[in-house]
Amino acid sequence: MLPFSIFAFMATLHQEFLPSAYTNTVTSGSVAWKSPSNIALVKYWGKHGQQLPKNASISFTLDHCATSTRLDFSQKESTGFVITVLLDGKVQEDFVPKIEKFFNVAKPYLPFLEQYSFTLHTSNSFPHSSGIASSASGMSALALCLLDLEDQLRDAPMNADAFRRKASFLARLGSGSASRSIDGGLVVWGEHPEVEGSSDLFAVQYPEEVHPVFQDYCDTVLLVDTGEKVVSSTVGHGLMHGHPFAEQRFAQANANLKAIKPILAKGDLEAFMALVESEALSLHAMMLSSSPYFILMKPATLAIINRIWSFRKETGVPACFTLDAGANVHLLYPAIHKEAVRNLIDAELKAHCKNGAYIHDGVGKGAVRL
């Protein structure tokens, strides 16, 4: 039975991302990358297999909300993983199990992982425990660092496209949304018949026409709640199994990804706002109707949403909201309306934020080597 088990295991591996034999020897060194977070416009909620999405999603890559990671490595003789993690210079032992879990899944694609001791020096540009998920930026930065090391072991480095594709594939193994943090602008993750080159295995830069208004869109993150969520995203995704509305939700998301294509091409802000806000509320509707059910929004979340709606009606300024799997509000608006929206934030909305905190951000260009 053993050979059959090995063959069955190998059949589940994705051959494109398995490296050939390494030719170079690297005893020690250091690599560093900065990778951004992202905010989904069409959400994914529900997954299967090895971090595969039940529906396609599209996101704006952010700019300022990012994780910087330096990976120090040195050869060792022992087997197993040796990992030390420092966040802002302080050892974080509770981070290690998640990275070990990622290493175990990634090992067939990065077979050198047990040959080195690793020390991760990581920091976020946004405050720790700010309520902004750092898994997307953190796991994508780590994946890029590991690929940088792999390139040093190869006879010739991967070309840029192959490098970023494998980085997205690896980042996905650690955190699904991390797959969308490699490239800049609009990024699609999940196979969709309307998006050429799309895949469940990795994310791709949105290949269609994009109106100039969306190329410098602003996102101010209003920090309503900075504590730990009552239900983690991992648990929330799991609750989509057997959810009474799961299949309808997956179909809705894929239909919305198709519907957003002409919106992005034409710069149709009215349709954009309607679709994005509907997607955010649909995401939270899945939480409200799961078993067990849960609520991640706070009273301040609803207060901000209602004020955005009234502001839009009063002024005609095309500002809208979206939500992640949490209480914080992402306030989206075109750059040409920056002054009016930010006046609203300072005059009214920050009063609903914890300690008046918010982060001005916008569409970024993706991960960069440091």
**pLDDT tens sequence across 36-58:** 999 999 999 999 999 999 999 99
Across 178-204, average pLDDT: 97
pLDDT of 223:
94
> Looking at residue 201, what is its pLDDT?
97
What's the sign of the alpha-carbon dihedral 157, 367, 213, 310? positive
pLDDT at residue 133, rounded to an integer: 60
**Is pLDDT at 9 greater than 90 in this prediction?**
no
CATH 3.10.300.10 fits 24-206, yes or no: no
Look over the chain and give the mean of its residue pLDDT values, rounded to a whole number: 94
Please indicate whether the domains covering 24-206 and 215-368 agree at the CATH topology level.
no
Across the range 25-37, mean pLDDT stands at 97
User: With pLDDT > 90 as the criterion, what percentage of the chain qualifies?
Assistant: 90
| Contact (Cβ atoms closer than 8 angstroms) between residue 118 and residue 84 | yes
Residue 292 pLDDT greater than 70, yes or no:
yes
DSSP codes, 36-105: EEEEEEE----EETTTEESS-EEEEEEEEEEEEEEEEEEE-SSSS-EEEEEETTEE-GGGHHHHHHHHHH
Average pLDDT over residues 197-214: 97
Confidence at residue 112, expressed as pLDDT on a 0 to 100 scale? 97
pLDDT at 129 over 70: no
Structure tokens at 277: 């806000």
126 compared with 163, residue with greater pLDDT:
163
- Rounded average pLDDT over 334-356: 97
Q: Which has the minimum average pLDDT: 111-120, 132-141, 307-316, 356-365?
A: 132-141
Look at the block and give the residue holding tokens 């879990």.
101
Summarised one tens digit per residue, pLDDT across range 247-261 is 999 999 999 999 999
Average pLDDT over residues 297-317: 98
pLDDT, residue 3, reads: 46
pLDDT at residue 7 tops 80: no
* pTM exceeds cut of 0.85: yes
pLDDT at 2: 42
What pLDDT does 10 receive?
Answer: 47
Summarize the confidence of residues 333-353 as an average pLDDT. 98
Three-state secondary structure call for residue 282: helix
Neighbours of 47 (CB within 10 A): 20
The burial class, CB within 10 Å (0-12 / 13-18 / 19+), for 110 is buried
31 has pLDDT over 60: yes
CB-based contact 106:170 (threshold 8 Å): yes
Give the pLDDT band of residue 131 (cuts 50, 70, 90).
Answer: low
User: Could you tell me the residue ranges of all domains in the chain?
Assistant: 24-206, 215-368
Residues 6 or more apart whose Cβ sits within 8 Å of residue 110: 19, 103, 146, 150, 170
Contacts 24+ apart (CB under 8 A), 251-256: 251/55, 252/282, 253/42, 253/43, 253/44, 253/45, 253/55, 253/56, 253/57, 253/279, 253/282, 254/55, 254/56, 254/192, 256/42
CATH 3.30.70.890 fits 215-368, yes or no: yes
Res 282: pLDDT? 98
- pLDDT for residue 119: 98
117: Cβ–Cβ under 8 A, 6 or more apart, which residues?
73, 74, 75, 76, 82, 83, 84
Lowest mean pLDDT segment, chosen from 91-95, 119-123, 316-320: 91-95
Integer Cα distance of 330 and 323 in angstroms: 6
